[in-house]
Amino acid sequence: MKKLLFIFCAAITFSACTTSTSTPPKDEKMYSWINSEHVACGVPFDSDTSDDYIIVRDEYVLSYNNQRGAANWVAWKLTAASFGDVERYSGNFITDTSLPTPFQRIKHADYTNSGYDRGHMVRSEERTYSVEANKATFYMTNILPQTPDLNRGVWYDFEQYCQELCTQQHKDLYIIAGGIYDRNVTTLKDEGKVEIPDSCYKIVYIVDSGQKPTATTVQQIAVIMPNISGVRKYKYSTYISSVPHIEQSTGYSMPLR
């Protein structure tokens, strides 16, 4: 599995593979080095990149936050070709040893008996075109704590909708997902390793299959779903939001805004 890793002490966007001690510009141009189809729409960014470690994989791009023990965001392209016949990886979730030595490396066991699921951002089913690709979705850097009602309920329903857009309506999707955090953050099992988001968001940019995503060609759908028990009974449409609302809640400027 090819990987391009980038540690960047300054911004939450899809970035370039260099290290700099100077203050970078606070816009998406600083991430022009990323040559990945997963960020064809652009890159999320904010004014503080000190908590971002950028990882570019063949399967997705993400920004890892060492303090939170989880990704700030994960971005990926989804098409009909993303879905195949490969069986779901059956081992434990995988510690991401590509993170630099000073960083905490979250393990499968850090979630065990916490009451929270290991919630995929890039869903396992969305990378079933090869064994290697499916296994890549099980890196702990692609995981956020989600309640079972969220992960197995309304979040899953929205994942199913995205799959139908690709496989039945011949659409290509460009997706960004992550967590939204309250000021009074709690951590899994109160161990101080993995912060628990209060809600999870997903932005989906939709184009016809094979079409280039631009501000004039994409349709957008965005959701913010509370990370609590009891949401399983609701439809994903209950939590339709907007890109500006997600920007306000996360502090990030999103692509094609």
Q: What are the catalytic residues?
A: 120
Q: How far apart are CA 118 and CA 174, in angstroms?
A: 22
Q: Provide the token pair at 105.
A: 């490396």
- Distance between CA 62 and CA 48 in Å, rounded? 16
List all residues 6 or more positions away from 238 whose beta carbon is below 8 Å from its beta carbon: 154
**In angstroms, rounded to a whole number, what is the distance separating the alpha carbons of residues 170 and 140?**
31
In one-letter notation, the amino acid at residue 143 is: I
Q: How far is CA 218 from CA 27, 53, 121, 253, in A?
A: 21, 28, 21, 17
Nearest 10 degrees: Cα torsion 47, 181, 72, 94: 160
* C-alpha separations of 203 from 55, 61, 107, 137, 254 in Å: 20, 15, 27, 19, 9
Both tokens assigned to 61: 């791009």
Measure the CA angle with vertex 146, ends 66 and 254; round to 5°: 60
